[in-house]
């Protein structure tokens, strides 16, 4: 047996060592998840040390969190919407389309070129004006991160310059955005977080890029995963209210740019898209056709990130709510997540869709998920940064901790 570098006398009577061991023991106990949360995934053991709050019970805010629809609607209408000054950059894509990137004013002066960059992808028809996006943005910014919101074509009051919007599986735009941000900040590590449809796009993108992905990690929240299941559930009961509301947003964006599609009337069902009463009707009339799918069901089946998550090769945290009315729990690809050592899944008992009205900032502040997301991303960034240290620098860091 190798001789230890210290004796029992050093262990029990050396305050610095005792403090170090105490901190280590506290960290280990703090990472034990509370039973109210479902944690799983092939990367669970690797990523669990990142989190500082998962040992606490998930407690939905009284009354608001008692019903999935109440929580979803409350968060949409009553969550505070922080004031943020953006500088918009319109990025022209290779097919002559346009996506809008919203950067925080002043970050070029205030942040180092090496500061980690977080790309945010809102949900269907969402943008930088949404409260859940802005809360996440500000939390990351306070930690010294550079943040940019990726508004898809026509979203966030952005322009549409071609007769094509976006889809759950079209990865051309996100690929160009990541490439652009990477070239702009070549010395920074890149990360992404997406909600709902944005989460589905991120997972598909990670899978497509595999080991060559420029992102150092990502987070997917309230991802519908299986679009066939999600569409089925969206047409049942009270969920029809959400379906109609989202269809209304799609109609509004489409009508604003309808002249671009007039010459394509032989290919697209323009009247059906302009008057759609559901997401399915819009996707059947426009989305599935413009992206070359045989039918709307073919589009949903082949665009589901539940099919691709097995190919993800970069750290990925997925956060879902068991009672999500739009991203149903039955669509979560638990087996694939458990089989992938790069993935971790957190499922909360409540939360609704884009709700998560719980935690210290409830009911009007940021979602419960925000500090969890930052714990994960900061852990990845520290791990990534440490991996680039020279061997002697790592040794010095260890000695400083012990001494």
Q: Which entry of 196, 216, 290, 306 is annotated as an active-site residue?
A: 196
Q: Which entry of 131, 290, 353, 375 is annotated as an active-site residue?
A: 353
| Cα(360)–Cα(379) distance, integer angstroms | 21
| Cα(369)–Cα(136) distance, integer angstroms | 9
CA 15-16-20 angle, 5° bins: 115
Q: Which entry of 102, 130, 243, 324 is annotated as an active-site residue?
A: 324
Active site residue 311: no
What is the total residue count of the chain? 403
| Cα(93)–Cα(78) distance, integer angstroms | 36
Report the side by side order of strands in the sheet with 215-221: 38-40, 343-348, 316-321, 215-221, 190-195, 117-121, 146-151, 98-104, 86-92
How would DSSP label each residue in 22-67?
A: HHHHHHHHHTSPPTTSEEE-TTHHHHGGG-SSTTS---BPTTGGGS
Active site residue 196: yes
Q: Please name which of 311, 289, 303 lies closest in space to residue 170, comparing C-alpha atoms.
A: 303
Residues 6+ apart with CB under 8 A from 376: 47, 50, 51, 217, 219, 315, 317, 344
SS3 state of residue 80: coil
Active site residue 100: no
Q: Please name which of 332, 318, 323, 316 lies closest in space to residue 357, comparing C-alpha atoms.
A: 323
Using an 8 Å Cβ cutoff, are 167 and 287 in contact? yes
Count of CB atoms situated within 10 Å of the CB of 53: 15
How would DSSP label each residue in 203-249?
A: HHHHHHHGGG-SEEEEEEES----HHHHHHHHTSTTHHHHHHHHHHH
Long-range contacts of 28-34 (CB under 8 A, 24+ apart): 29/55, 30/55, 31/55, 34/58
Residues 6+ apart with CB under 8 A from 80: 131, 135, 364, 365
Count of CB atoms situated within 10 Å of the CB of 285: 21
| Cα(337)–Cα(203) distance, integer angstroms | 12
Kindly list the catalytic residues: 196, 324, 353
């Amino acid at each position: 047996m190798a001789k230890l570098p210290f004796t029992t006398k050093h262990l029990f009577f050396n305050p610095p060592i005792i403090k170090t061991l105490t901190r280590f023991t506290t960290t280990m106990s703090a990472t034990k998840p509370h039973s109210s949360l479902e944690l799983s995934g092939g990367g669970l053991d690797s990523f669990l040390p990142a989190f500082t709050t998962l040992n606490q019970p998930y407690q939905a805010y009284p009354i608001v969190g008692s019903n999935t629809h109440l929580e979803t609607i409350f968060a949409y209408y009553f969550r505070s919407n922080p004031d943020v000054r953006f500088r918009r950059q319109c990025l022209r894509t290779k097919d002559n389309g346009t996506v809008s990137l919203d950067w925080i004013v002043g970050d070029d002066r205030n942040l180092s070129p090496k500061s980690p960059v977080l790309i945010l992808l809102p949900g269907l028809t969402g943008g930088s004006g949404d409260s859940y996006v802005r809360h996440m943005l500000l939390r990351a910014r306070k930690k010294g991160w550079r943040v940019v919101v990726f508004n898809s074509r026509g979203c966030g009051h952005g322009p549409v310059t071609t007769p094509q919007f976006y889809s759950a599986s079209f990865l051309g735009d996100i690929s160009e955005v990541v490439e652009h941000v990477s070239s702009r900040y070549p010395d920074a590590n890149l990360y992404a977080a997406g909600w709902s449809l944005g989460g589905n796009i991120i997972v598909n993108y990670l899978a497509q890029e595999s080991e060559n992905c420029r992102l150092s990690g990502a987070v997917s929240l309230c991802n519908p995963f299986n679009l066939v299941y999600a569409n089925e559930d969206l047409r049942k009961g009270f969920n029809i209210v959400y379906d109609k509301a989202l269809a209304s947003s799609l109609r509004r964006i489409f009508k604003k740019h309808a002249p671009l599609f007039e010459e394509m009337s032989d290919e697209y069902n323009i009247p059906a898209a302009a008057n759609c009463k559901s997401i399915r009707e819009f996707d059947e009339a426009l989305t599935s056709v413009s992206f070359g799918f045989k039918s709307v069901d073919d589009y949903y089946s082949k665009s589901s990130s539940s099919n691709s998550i097995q190919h993800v090769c970069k750290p990925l945290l997925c956060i879902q709510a068991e009672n999500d009315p739009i991203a149903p729990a039955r669509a979560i690809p638990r087996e694939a997540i458990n089989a992938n050592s790069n993935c971790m899944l957190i499922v909360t008992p409540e939360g609704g869709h884009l709700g998560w009205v719980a935690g210290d900032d409830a009911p009007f502040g940021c979602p419960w998920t925000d500090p969890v997301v930052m714990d994960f991303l900061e852990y990845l960034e520290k791990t990534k940064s440490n991996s680039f240290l020279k061997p002697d620098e790592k040794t010095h860091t260890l000695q400083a901790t012990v001494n």
